[in-house]
């Protein structure tokens, strides 16, 4: 295969990746988009195998082995994973991409001819710079994602671990990495120890940067690392002179940056402070305060009675629904109510749950049709005409202090106006606060009824009470 | 007038950033979770680099050749986890998004 | 592995089409008239070709040189009408779009 | 200047053009966008002058002369032109771009060295193909835009001129052009007569393609030619190996295509039929029918009285407002009403007027703040709560037959729901129909009052009556 044809095919696979993301603009076209992405990947792999054909049977065997082992692990994981575990899964997959980037860079250092970037101990300067940036970002992505995974998966406490003098420590490590990169470049790639020193230090940096960040902030971290790894991939794309990698790097880089921006805006945090990585730790979890004001308590039977007689119910799911895995019970309840002639819709806040689109994927899993599920802007005007707002495991996203109290940590965040519904039902385990650790004024309102219990159990009881 | 291919790659990179920006903003919020998993999957095109490393010619590459080959195999395996895992989990998720059935 | 620059230009072209598609869709309908006049203005980058024609070296070009030079001047003039006219009329229009004055 | 630096600068100017269009996403940023566009153009011109420096003072003089003459004409036109004449102006400017492309291609044919594409009589094949496509599209754009200009400016009747056997004629000319291109390429550019023959035939084709199309359809034609010329510019960009031209060509190409798509969708016509150029001529102007049903007539005094006592008025401007230049009078009326405490908003249909964004630019000209001007989707839900819909020179965009009558030529087009307002005032000269030539049921409704007269005069009388 000529280099021109290969370049053309890499362009084609880049375009297919663009179309894969473009497909996600609506659920209808998204499945075709995903298939286009797979075709793009197949073309990229096939082109590489044709243009740099493995020289012997052994090599073919090794490649087959790698793909078989990796592919099997990947496929099984993909099939088994619970939908609620998606944030962890993405973090775990992420660390693998980071590690792969490290190994690719190392291979390029030991056999630069294979990549056309010079000879051992005499590698082009530009390639060395790109390579060492690639390995550093790759290693940070690797260890950072592992920490994020551990915190999200509960293998490690989610509490922020504040290291002494962490900012100075991080700056020192960062400086050392830069110095080592300069040394590596000056030696034209002969001093391989500097390469490994960069790798080790970057792995340490990934840890020290991420451990101080609270577990609940991990989704932003995952998305941010995603963005970083995109730029790293683009860097390696320049080294390998490969446009599929350059295009993909830009796509992944943008995607991560935009998703972290969306999360930050939804939480009313500054994007810059997140990107610099110096945030977290100071999340106010003022949950301890004991509240003495009375709340109106209700039972599953009360809730069933109220909703049966309603003409429209808006369901507002939140993180608690995900924790309790209540989506299936919820759908059952919705079906029962629909049979009674009640109109059901779902209202999704942009940062409900712990990951962008978290609630949508769970509701989809429970077979809730996506045309009953609405975004904040589209449904907020419906609350005043709704009879019941069924708030299940959501808290912050309904808290009116975001509109009224400039001192609140969530002040300025857009909010679902559940309090405008005739009756608000709050399903949660107790008076605990949500992610942002702020008191929710709504619990004490006259038109609010609190239903204490696990979201799934409570919903199931309501289903029973509906008969 | 020969132009350095680097300039072209830079152009491609710059334009791809614009495309990425717009294409990602146009993703509906309901599909942000699949977006995370599919970008993860496509970021494994890094496998291209891994394949080049495995395919290194041992005679030409000298002593570093074996090291590169082994690193390459590991990278191929890691990237494959992502490729299969990423696309399949996305497919599984997307299959769940259904419209209301017309009765 | 030398790659034909044509492939790069093709890549740039393809990506630019994506960018154009998104960037134009994101233009607010209220500004569609200025959009027409500004695209008209930028399409006069064709002046780049006209300048190359004018700058032709008469000694090297032989008899065709003068023809190219004259055609070039005409094309420069035509493109200039568009450049100045297009950008200025757009500027004039855009200056008219005002927000409500806060009193 | 090195070729690399030049290529980089051309990229920069391409990016600046992208940012120029991006700025148009809202009025706030649009002015800066336009400035960026100018900077981009200056960079492109400056780079070209530096990289292919004019060899002598004469050449510098010629360039200065060309820019001075063209620039002066352009600047004066830009300053003098009336806002209502924008469609003509764009068509006229367009024909100049087409002609410039023809001259550039001709220059390349006679002095290929200057462009680095070979020598006289021995030009690279690929360049010849690109060049002849460029010249053909350029020539079509030139003559087609002149026809469009003449029809829009009234220098020529807007009525479709149906040539005998026009489709066969067009296909024959098209075939001849292709044959000539092949001949030109085979001769390696030596047969210059074929080049001129292509030019002449393409000019003829531009005329025969466009004259059969009715005057009111010209905006779609202008936009379509705009798109074609973008692709032609990109083609020349490949010949000149210039990324600024390639990027710009793609931008202009998309922009024209999207605008024609928007117009076609707004008019409920098929995009494909427009792109193929075989449309028009069959526009049903069934205006002649005399209608006998009674309508409720009103005077300026009646309208002033009704609106004075209203609490909210929605103004719906259309093509008639543009013809009558009534925008300034309209704004005066709105100001008077605002002083009386009436809330005024403006509702703009996507294809109101004869050009996308036509109404917006006229209202802006009359100093109407753009945050009082709403798009169809944003204001349609407001009509039921409005007291008065003041429909001035609009007709088709309010016609409910688009919703109710599947046989209507505008069936399926989205419509402003003016009839839901308490009172509808129609300002027009008589019972004439609009662009689509269909009867408007609304004229005969009980809550409609017709105000016959020129839009500007009538509005001025209302202003007087408001005191
Ligand atoms: N979506 C994202 O991308 C993202 C990313 C990072 C951070 N965040 C943040 O996450 C928050 C999301 O808001 P949210 O309203 O969805 O959740 P939330 O404010 O965190 O509230 C969740 C509520 O669910 C209840 N809960 C927990 N487990 C439960 C169970 N098993 N059964 C019933 N209830 C249970 C908890 O109260 P009890 O303890 O009383 O039961 C808690 O108040 C926002 O503050 C947002 O900024 C979102
Ligand atoms: N905007 C675009 O991009 C575009 C492009 C191509 C085509 N179109 C088409 O243009 C039409 C636009 O709809 P529209 O409602 O704005 O206009 P319209 O339906 O064409 O109606 C214009 C009305 O204005 C009246 N009028 C003309 N001159 C007047 C004057 N001096 N004073 C007062 N009234 C006057 C005419 O009635 P009298 O004769 O009784 O006065 C006529 O009924 C649509 O059919 C659309 O598809 C739009």
Per-residue pLDDT reduced to its tens digit, A284-295: 444 445 556 788
- What's the rounded mean pLDDT across residues D95-108? 92
Supply the pLDDT for residue A359: 92
CB proximity list for B70: less than 8 A, separation 6 or greater: none
Please tell me if the CB atom of residue D415 comes closer than 6 angstroms to any atom of ligand 2: no
Q: Using the predicted structure, report yes or no on whether residue D144 has a pLDDT greater than 70.
A: yes
* Ligand 2 atom nearest residue D259's Cα: 3
pLDDT band per the 50, 70, 90 thresholds, residue B22: very high
User: Which of B4, B13, B14, B15 best tests the C interface by mutation, with the highest count of C CBs <10 A?
Assistant: B15
Write down which chains contact chain B via at least 3 CB pairs under 8 A: A, C, D
Instruction: Count CB pairs under 8 A between chains A and C.
Output: 25
> Exposed (0-12), middle (13-18) or buried (19+): which is D332, by Cβ within 10 Å?
middle
DSSP label at residue A284: -
Closest Cα in chain D, distance from residue C4 (Å): 12
Residues of B in contact with D14 (CB under 8 A): 11
- Give residue-wise pLDDT tens across range A203-229: 999 998 888 877 767 888 888 888 888
Q: Do B3 and D7 touch (CB under 8 A)?
A: yes
Q: Do A4 and C7 touch (CB under 8 A)?
A: yes
Beta pairing class for A122-123 and A118-119 = antiparallel
E strands, A72-187, where? 118-119, 122-123
C-alpha distance from residue B54 to each of A64, A116, A300, B64 (Å): 11, 14, 62, 12
Q: Do C68 and D111 touch (CB under 8 A)?
A: yes
Of C83, C76, C79, C75, nearest to D78 by C-alpha is C83
pLDDT band per the 50, 70, 90 thresholds, residue A279: very low
* Ligand 1 atom nearest residue A454's Cα: 32
- Give residue-wise pLDDT tens across range D235-266: 888 888 888 899 999 999 999 999 988 888 88
Closest residue on chain B to D246 (Cα): B11
How many CB atoms are closer than 10 A to CB A267? 20
pLDDT band per the 50, 70, 90 thresholds, residue A271: low
Supply the pLDDT for residue D282: 41
Instruction: Give the separation between CA B50 and CA B70, rounded to whole angstroms.
Output: 10
Beta pairing class for D343-348 and D448-452 = unpaired
- What's the rounded mean pLDDT across residues A339-362? 90
What average pLDDT does chain A have? 88
- What's the rounded mean pLDDT across residues D276-280? 47
Supply the pLDDT for residue D284: 44
DSSP label at residue D433: -
Residues of B in contact with D11 (CB under 8 A): 7, 10-11, 14
Closest residue on chain C to A116 (Cα): C1
Q: How far is the first Cα of chain D from the last one, in angstroms, to the nearest whole number?
A: 68
- What's the rounded mean pLDDT across residues B4-20? 91
Report how many helices (DSSP H) and strands (DSSP E) chain C contains, helices first.
5, 0
Global ipTM: 0.88
What spacing in Å lies between the alpha carbon of A258 and ligand 1's midpoint?
22
Supply the pLDDT for residue B99: 80
CB-CB contact of D318 with D395 (8 Å): yes
Q: Using the predicted structure, report yes or no on whether residue D206 has a pLDDT greater than 50.
A: yes
Helix, strand, coil shares of chain B as percentages rounded to 5? 80, 0, 20
What are the φ and ψ backbone dihedral angles of C41, each rounded to 5 degrees?
A: -65, -45
pLDDT band per the 50, 70, 90 thresholds, residue A438: confident
The question of whether D378 is a catalytic residue gets the answer no
Of D347, D349, D365, nearest to D357 by C-alpha is D349
* Ligand 2 atom nearest residue D266's Cα: 47
User: Which of B5, B55, B98 best tests the A interface by mutation, with the highest count of A CBs <10 A?
Assistant: B55
Q: Do B81 and A93 touch (CB under 8 A)?
A: yes
Please tell me if the CB atom of residue D439 comes closer than 6 angstroms to any atom of ligand 2: no
Chain C interface includes A7 (CB < 8 A):
yes
Q: Using the predicted structure, report yes or no on whether residue D161 has a pLDDT greater than 80.
A: no
Q: Could you say which of B29, B51, B87 has the minimum Cβ distance to residue A38?
A: B87
Instruction: Give the separation between CA D128 and CA D108, rounded to whole angstroms.
Output: 9
Supply the pLDDT for residue D287: 45
Query: In 3-state terms, what secondary structure has residue A450?
Result: strand
CB-CB contact of D109 with D195 (8 Å): yes
- What's the rounded mean pLDDT across residues D423-427? 94
Closest Cα in chain A, distance from residue C15 (Å): 8
Residues of C in contact with D55 (CB under 8 A): 55, 57-58
pLDDT band per the 50, 70, 90 thresholds, residue D288: very low
CB-CB contact of A451 with A300 (8 Å): yes
Residues D125-144 as b or e (16 or more Cβ within 10 Å = b):
eebbbbbbbbbbbbbbbbbb
Question: 419-458 in A: which are within 8 Å (CB) of B?
Answer: none
Supply the pLDDT for residue C1: 55
Out of A33-37, A231-235, D170-174, least confident range: A231-235
- Give residue-wise pLDDT tens across range B43-63: 999 999 999 999 888 877 777
- Give residue-wise pLDDT tens across range C63-100: 788 899 999 999 999 999 999 999 999 999 999 888 87
Question: 1-40 in B: which are within 8 Å (CB) of C?
Answer: 3, 5, 8-9, 11-12, 15-16, 18-19, 22-23, 26
- Give residue-wise pLDDT tens across range D330-377: 999 999 999 999 999 999 998 888 888 889 999 999 999 988 999 998
Instruction: Give the separation between CA C50 and CA C18, rounded to whole angstroms.
Output: 28
Using only C-alpha atoms, what is the Rg of chain C? 20
Residue A423: enclosing H or E segment and its boundaries? strand A423-428
- Identify the residue whose C-alpha is closest to ligand 2 atom 39: D432
Supply the pLDDT for residue A205: 94
What are the φ and ψ backbone dihedral angles of D312, each rounded to 5 degrees?
A: -145, 135
What spacing in Å lies between the alpha carbon of A230 and ligand 1's midpoint?
30
Statement: the pTM of the whole predicted model exceeds 0.80: yes
E strands, D190-325, where? 312-317
Residues of D in contact with B15 (CB under 8 A): 247
Q: Indicate which residue of D396, D405, D417, D446 is catalytic.
A: D396
Chain C interface includes D303 (CB < 8 A):
no
What are the φ and ψ backbone dihedral angles of A211, each rounded to 5 degrees?
A: -55, -30
C-alpha distance from residue A462 to each of A304, A335, A344, A443, A445 (Å): 5, 12, 15, 20, 22
- Give residue-wise pLDDT tens across range A251-262: 999 999 999 888
What average pLDDT does chain D have? 88
For helices B32-42 and A27-51, give the axis angle rounded to 10 degrees. Answer: 10
Residues C51-76 as b or e (16 or more Cβ within 10 Å = b):
bbbbbbebeebeebbebbbbbbbbbb
- What's the rounded mean pLDDT across residues D198-217? 87
The token pair that represents D205 in the structure block: 């084709």
Supply the pLDDT for residue D239: 83
- Give residue-wise pLDDT tens across range A91-147: 999 899 999 999 999 999 998 888 888 888 888 888 899 888 889 999 999 999 999
Please tell me if the CB atom of residue D324 comes closer than 6 angstroms to any atom of ligand 2: yes
> Exposed (0-12), middle (13-18) or buried (19+): which is A29, by Cβ within 10 Å?
middle
Supply the pLDDT for residue D285: 44
Supply the pLDDT for residue D99: 93
Q: Where are the alpha helices (DSSP H) in A215-287?
A: 218-240, 243-267, 271-275
From D84, D297, D361, D395, mutation site for ligand 2 pocket: most ligand atoms within 8 A of C-beta: D395
Residues of B in contact with C6 (CB under 8 A): none
Closest residue on chain C to A243 (Cα): C11
Supply the pLDDT for residue C101: 66
Closest residue on chain C to B22 (Cα): C22
Q: Do C7 and A7 touch (CB under 8 A)?
A: yes
Supply the pLDDT for residue C45: 92
Residues D272-310 as b or e (16 or more Cβ within 10 Å = b):
eebbebebbeebeeeeeeeeeeebeebbbebbbebbbeb
Q: Using the predicted structure, report yes or no on whether residue D280 has a pLDDT greater than 60.
A: no
Supply the pLDDT for residue D273: 62
Please tell me if the CB atom of residue D436 comes closer than 6 angstroms to any atom of ligand 2: yes
* Ligand 1 atom nearest residue A351's Cα: 1
Strand order in the sheet with D388-392: D373-375, D343-348, D312-317, D388-392, D423-428, D448-452
Supply the pLDDT for residue B102: 54
Closest Cα in chain A, distance from residue B2 (Å): 17
């Amino acid at each position: 295969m000529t280099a021109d044809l290969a370049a053309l095919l890499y362009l084609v696979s880049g375009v297919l990746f663009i179309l894969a993301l473009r497909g996600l603009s609506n659920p209808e076209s998204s499945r075709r988009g995903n298939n286009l992405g797979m075709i793009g990947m197949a073309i990229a792999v096939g082109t590489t195998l044709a243009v740099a054909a493995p020289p012997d049977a052994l090599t073919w065997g090794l490649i087959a082995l790698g793909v078989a082992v990796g592919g099997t692990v990947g496929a099984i994981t993909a099939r088994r994973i619970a939908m609620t575990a998606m944030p962890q899964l993405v973090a775990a997959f992420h660390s693998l991409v980071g590690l792969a980037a490290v190994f690719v860079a190392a291979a390029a250092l030991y056999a630069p001819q294979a990549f056309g970037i010079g000879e051992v101990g005499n590698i082009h300067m530009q390639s060395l710079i790109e390579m060492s940036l690639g390995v550093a970002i790759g290693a940070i992505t690797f260890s950072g994602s592992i920490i994020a995974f551990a915190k999200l998966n509960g293998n490690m406490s989610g509490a922020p671990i504040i290291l002494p003098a962490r900012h100075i420590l991080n700056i020192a490590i960062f400086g050392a990495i830069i110095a080592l990169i300069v040394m590596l470049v000056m030696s034209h790639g002969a001093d391989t120890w500097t390469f490994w020193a960069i790798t080790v230090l970057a792995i340490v940096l990934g840890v020290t940067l991420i451990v101080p960040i609270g577990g609940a902030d991990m989704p932003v971290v995952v998305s941010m690392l995603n963005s970083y790894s995109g730029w790293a991939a683009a860097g390696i794309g320049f080294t390998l002179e490969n446009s599929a990698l350059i295009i993909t790097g830009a796509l992944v880089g943008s995607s991560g940056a935009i998703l972290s921006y969306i999360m930050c805006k939804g939480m009313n945090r500054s994007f810059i402070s997140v990107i610099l990585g110096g945030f977290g730790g100071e999340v106010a979890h003022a949950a301890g305060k004991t509240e003495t004001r009375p709340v109106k308590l209700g039972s599953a039977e009360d809730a069933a009675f109220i909703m049966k007689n309603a003409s429209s119910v808006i369901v507002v799911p939140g993180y608690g629904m995900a924790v309790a895995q209540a989506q299936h019970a919820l759908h059952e309840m919705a079906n029962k109510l629909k049979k009674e002639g009640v109109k059901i819709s779902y209202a999704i806040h942009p940062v409900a749950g712990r990951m962008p689109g978290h609630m949508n994927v769970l509701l989809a899993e429970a077979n809730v049709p996506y045309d009953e599920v609405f975004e904040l802007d589209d449904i907020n005007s419906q609350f005043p005409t709704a009879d019941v707002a069924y708030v299940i495991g959501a808290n912050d996203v309904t808290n009116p202090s975001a509109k009224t109290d400039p001192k609140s940590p969530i002040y300025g965040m857009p909010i679902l106006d559940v309090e405008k519904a005739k009756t608000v039902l709050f399903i949660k385990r107790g008076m605990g606060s949500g992610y942002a650790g702020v008191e929710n004024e709504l619990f004490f309102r006259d038109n609010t009824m609190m239903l204490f219990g696990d979201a799934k159990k409570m919903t199931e009881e309501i289903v029973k009470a509906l008969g | 007038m020969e132009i350095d291919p680097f300039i072209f790659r830079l152009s491609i990179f710059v334009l791809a950033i614009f495309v990425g920006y717009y294409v990602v903003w146009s993703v509906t919020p309901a599909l942000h979770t699949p977006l995370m998993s599919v970008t993860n999957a496509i970021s494994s095109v890094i496998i291209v680099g891994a394949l080049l490393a495995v395919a290194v010619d041992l005679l030409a590459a000298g002593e570093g050749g074996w090291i590169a080959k082994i690193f390459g195999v590991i990278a191929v395996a890691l990237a494959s986890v992502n490729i299969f895992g990423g696309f399949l989990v996305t497919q599984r998720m997307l299959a769940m998004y259904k419209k209301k059935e017309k009765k």
